[in-house]
Structure 1
Amino acid sequence: MAFFGGNTAQSGPSAAANANNQGDLSKDIELSSPPEDSVSDISFSSQSEHLAVASWDKKVRIYEISDTGSSVGKAAYDHEGPVLSVVWSKDGSKVISGGADKAARMYDLQSGVSTQVAVHDQPIRACRFIQPPNGAEMLVTGSWDKSLKYWDLRQQAPVATLQLSERVYTLDVAQSLMVVGLAEKQIEIVNLANPTAIWKTIPSPLKWQTRVVTCFPDASGFAVGSIEGRCAIQYVDEKQSNMNFSFKCHRETPVGPVGPVGTPNVNVFSVNAISFHPTYGTFSTAGSDGTFHFWDKDAKHRLKGYPSVNGTIPATAFNRNGSIFAYAISYDWSKGHQSNNPQYPIKVMLHPIKDDEAKPKPVVKKR
């Protein structure tokens, strides 16, 4: 399926022309004291209004967000290389991060101490907390060394290691579902009731390299974003496979000469981040074109599109009740090192959510 409900789902001039779907960025608030290099990941606590930000400057910063949207830096800790992933523990007492130094570190908010809690043979690309059905909360780390490792934070050695077919580019967890996006467009699915075995391996439903996978909050499926401006909605249960679809997004048709045989030239951008609203189950996509959009997967409809923020968006997150949408603006390396420069913006913005932006539209029954 190319488009949601007939909408073009494109950023740029064609999307901006749809005034009813055009969102407003004028009330967005910039996070104070942002990182000094590109932002790689952001994560809200599920217990409080605290935001963790991981950066290529080898630091993780933790901010407290007030009711008015103002922010203050509360803590920071270091890695020995660029930080690639950050996540909160379920109780909001700890932050875990993994990075290019091949290590994961845990920061305890009460003690203010960070300690190394995991190590791989290659950079750690992603880390998440999991809650096995019959066990205590554990950490899972995914690496370019083609493995997942499970960690009991009270022990130094991993509890188990799961070998994968390729390097880990992205992973996400919801309830007992874990989805891992690998190099070579492979996707491996793990049922956390049996975390040491691959439950299912599938090729990506998209033709180009996987950039991000994000699980539905109800764990019935996941969304996939690729470098070629497409997003796919994929259900885990084969009985729901008829509900799978993909659509184009984060593309623009510039004004100017057309391509071969009169076809318009289209600029295609990577889908860097997909985040699900914690209450409504709708989701956002954000990309290298510097725009983000809110979508309703069940209605196959774009709820809102937003103008360019004048820089690529590498990471996004909703807060615990979905009232704030945070998005980072910084270089995402999609055009190589030659396109980075000291003037490139480095920001994290807080967008206050109104109901008409992320809430599903009521279904109008035809008489």
Structure 2
Amino acid sequence: MAPSTQFEVAQPPNDAITAIVFAPDFPNRFLVSSWDKNVYLYEVVDGAEQANLIEKFEHRAPVLDVCFGATHEEAFTAGLDHQVSRIDLASGDQSVLSKHEKPVRSVIYSPQHSILVSASWDNTLHIHDTAPNSSHPVLTIPLPNKPHAMAASPSKLVVAMTARLVHIYDLPTLASALASPNPPSTIAPWQQRESSLKFLTRAVSCMPNDAGYATSSIEGRVAVEWFEDTAESQARKYAFKCHRQQDESSGGGDVVYPVNALAFHPVYGTFASGGGDGTVALWDAEAKRRMRQYQKFSDSVAALAFSGHGKYLAVGVCPGFETGMEDYSGEGRAHVLIRELGETEAKGKGSK
């Protein structure tokens, strides 16, 4: 069995990292978005313990999120310039798909339904048809509150908002409405839920088997829930404390950190969490246990992503806001690390 290895990516962003994502059809390629107004495209070199910067794509304002499209040559971004943009990663050409009235927090592409969803602080979702020369107008869905995190499974879209609201949308319904010659003025969510966590949601990630999702909060907790709306299924949901450190100065109390990032392993269905305490942990959702915790990084863990084949875990590290914003400086302190996982490192107790 090959041992796990870990290395740092050369030429990282110059400021805080906002998102990391691997390509769906090219597992060694990944994108990183940053407050430095750039999106970075890297490629891991197998067996060489290195990842090379292929290109970076400058934007007008800090980029808050990025995702790949249908292939590794297409990407979509969301940012403080209020725009949802498309990047042709081969040519470098950029185009604007839509404009929100306020910054765009999240952007997600659904390969199963060929639609792009953006979530903005103007309290709307935009549903885009990304097909070349599409004549379908952007579909706008109003939200009751400001969205803070969004994730998609093969059939569901999970949007977490302020006031502990969670809306779950049916992706086939969204795709059908977008393609309709007379699209509806609004679309009701498939389910409306109240978060199992008492504090603001920080991250959301969906299970690869389409069964449910995990959310994390600014108050060192993670909740795991299932989509199926039955009493039996809902009885399975649970939440737990994590990313806390003992405060020796206060006689044994905990220092609580935000859980900034979540990512499910695409093969085994276990998941990783990253926190403001500078650590990454692997969890078995079914067995409800922590499998392992990695060494402490130099700063807060801001973003996590598994590659499509599950071989690599990318970790974005940069200063967080744990000590307040007055002395915040992310410049020159952002790092991207790649962990090549051992063969069964992310395998849960019940995994085959």
Q: Please indicate, yes or no, whether the TM-score normalized by the shorter chain is above 0.5.
A: yes
Equivalent residues in 2 for 1:158-197, closer than 5 Å: 158-195=137-174, 196-197=187-188
Superposed CA offset, 1:113-149 (max 9, x none): 12222210010100011256xxx51111000000001
1:79 match:
59
Superposed CA offset, 1:306-335 (max 9, x none): 121020011010111111100011123343
How many residues of Structure 1 are paired with residues of Structure 2 in the alignment? 331
Is 1:228 aligned with 2:219? yes
Runs of at least 5 residues in structure 1 that lack an aligned partner in the other structure: 1-23, 259-263
Q: Which amino acid aligns with 2:18?
A: S
Q: Is contact 1:117–1:156 with CA below 8 Å preserved after alignment?
A: no
Q: Which amino acid aligns with 1:170?
A: A
Give me the TM-score of the superposition, normalised by structure 2: 0.89
Of 295, 302, 309, the match for 2:283? 295
Which one has the bigger strand percentage? 2
Following the alignment from structure 1 to structure 2, what is the Cα–Cα distance between the partners of residues 71 and 36?
Answer: 17
Greater shift, 110-119 or 334-343, is seen at 334-343
1:140 match:
117
Is 1:152 aligned with 2:129? yes
1:44 match:
22
Of 102, 110, 119, the match for 1:130? 110
2:13 match:
35
2:184 match:
none
Structure 2 SS opposite 1:194: helix
Structure 1 SS opposite 2:326: helix
Of 263, 268, 280, the match for 1:275? 263
Following the alignment from structure 2 to structure 1, what is the Cα–Cα distance between the partners of residues 285 and 318?
Answer: 28
Of 237, 242, 246, the match for 1:244? 237
2:179 match:
none
Superposed CA offset, 1:334-355 (max 9, x none): 4332242367621000011113
Following the alignment from structure 1 to structure 2, what is the Cα–Cα distance between the partners of residues 106 and 121?
Answer: 18
Runs of at least 5 residues in structure 2 that lack an aligned partner in the other structure: 175-186
Following the alignment from structure 2 to structure 1, what is the Cα–Cα distance between the partners of residues 12 and 136?
Answer: 34
Give me the TM-score of the superposition, normalised by structure 1: 0.86
Structure 2 SS opposite 1:28: strand
Kindly state the Cα deviation for residue 161 of structure 1 after the two structures are TM-superposed: 0.9
Following the alignment from structure 1 to structure 2, what is the Cα–Cα distance between the partners of residues 208 and 342?
Answer: 25
Following the alignment from structure 2 to structure 1, what is the Cα–Cα distance between the partners of residues 56 and 196?
Answer: 39
Q: Is contact 1:311–1:344 with CA below 8 Å preserved after alignment?
A: no
Q: Which amino acid aligns with 2:65?
A: S
Superposed CA offset, 1:46-104 (max 9, x none): 11111101000011010111102312111111221110001011322201111011012
Q: Is contact 1:294–1:303 with CA below 8 Å preserved after alignment?
A: yes
1:322 match:
310
Q: Percent identity?
A: 30
2:85 match:
105
